[in-house]
Structure 1
Amino acid sequence: MDQPADSNASDSEDGAIRRRLPPAERRQQIVDVAVRFFAEVGLDGKTRELAKRLGVTQSLLFNYFATKDDLIEAVYEKVYIGRLSPDWPERLSDRDVPLRDRLIAFYSEYSALIFEREWMRIFMFSGLAGASLNHRYLKHLGDVILRPILAETDALARGDTRPTMEDVWNLHGGIVYIGIRQHIYRMPAPEHPEDEIARAIAKYLQFFEIELEN
């Protein structure tokens, strides 16, 4: 169902006159600003303060999102689920392409999407607040990305050592940590993260005696 007309959108908390926006555009604006807002102050940030940043009334905000949880859900969809490409599971399972190349292609694209301030900080704040966003995202990631990686690794692994989900999580966590260092700890990141990603993947494959061209 369409949102109600943006009839109050021109009146901000401080009385300033704002341009009226179509409902879909206003909703997107709210989500975009909410992403930056929660990344800065955490999920405990007040909707009244968010409304001030938007230059609209708090009541207008709740015309689009009935509760703060609904707004956070929209942020989650935009920042996390919306960035997972639907074709990644299929590409990761394409055995016509060497596994090393599949992993490098995936993590090059994935890191380009998550190695940014908003993604890292909202994820951190969500974990500290005990919110369900982290658990839901990691479960989804495990199901659609990491389990295919495990299956492909297991198919090519040689010797007696068999890969486990813990091994895949270690690979994934090590790569994600590059972004954590930069955006959470504010420490220098590698000048060329793609080189570190390729090195981590090579070590992972070599541990299971998988030839790099496979």
Structure 2
Amino acid sequence: MGVTQPLLYRYFPNKEALIDRVYSEVYRWDPAWERLLADRSIPLQERLCSLYKAYSHVILQREWIRTFIFAGLTREGINKRYLEKLRERIFRPVMDEIRNTYSLPTPTTPAAKEAELELIWSLHASIFYLGVRKWVYGLPVPKDLDAHVERQVDAFLNGTPATLKRLSSPSSATKEPSTRGRRS
């Protein structure tokens, strides 16, 4: 790029200030996502589809994906801050809304809380991975991103409540996983 360290420090007093600026410029956060998620006058599936459509249009950009991957590999801490925000402002509220919508209990053990968090990670990762496929691997992705997001949310909402019910049942520790829909 041809930018020298003294020039950088002319505009940024330290490395942390530079990282903060990159963070705010690249990892654009829309507070409307949080408001949408909390609006129970809208059906949950519609909220999640709207949220993840808007979110995917922000993150599924070459600059965003490549910066996020690179920052994760360099361990600079920028991703940790973003992922903490994502966990607190999106993941946990999504799981709260699922529990509310499907009348499910709040997890009481660390293992149940972790299992619940992993379920929302699966939805999120399926959408994020489109960017990896396109901008890291150079592979094709669905042309209709919004329709793909709707399918992912539909699959998530059709599987997650049933899984959470099984996890919260008293005998879940001794139950075999469901084999419904599997072929021998």
Normalising by structure 2, we get a TM-score of 0.76
Identity of aligned residues (%): 37
Q: 1:77–1:159: structure 2 CA closer, same or farther, 3 Å change rule? A: closer
- Choose between structure 1 and 2 for higher RCO, CA contacts under 8 A separated by at least 6 residues: 2
For 1:175 and 1:107, locate their aligned partners in 2 and report how far apart those are by CA, in whole Å.
8
The answer for the alignment partner of 2:84 in structure 1 is 139
Counterpart code for 1:64:
Y
The answer for the alignment partner of 1:172 in structure 2 is 124
Counterpart code for 1:73:
D
For the pair shown, which has the larger CA radius of gyration, 1 or 2? 1
Number of residue equivalences: 153
Structure 2 residue matching 1:87: 3-state secondary structure = helix
Q: Which runs of 5+ in 1 are unaligned?
A: 1-36, 38-48, 52-57, 210-214
Matches within 5 A, 1:1-214: 49-51=2-4, 59-80=6-27, 83-157=28-102, 164-207=116-159, 208=161
The answer for the alignment partner of 1:30 in structure 2 is none
- State the 1:60 CA deviation: 4.0
Counterpart code for 2:19:
I
Counterpart code for 1:179:
G
For 2:103 and 2:96, locate their aligned partners in 1 and report how far apart those are by CA, in whole Å.
13
Bigger helix share: 2
Q: CA-atom RMSD, angstroms?
A: 2.1
Normalising by structure 1, we get a TM-score of 0.66
Given that residues 178 and 193 in structure 1 are in contact (C-alpha distance below 8 angstroms), is that contact kept between their aligned partners in structure 2? no
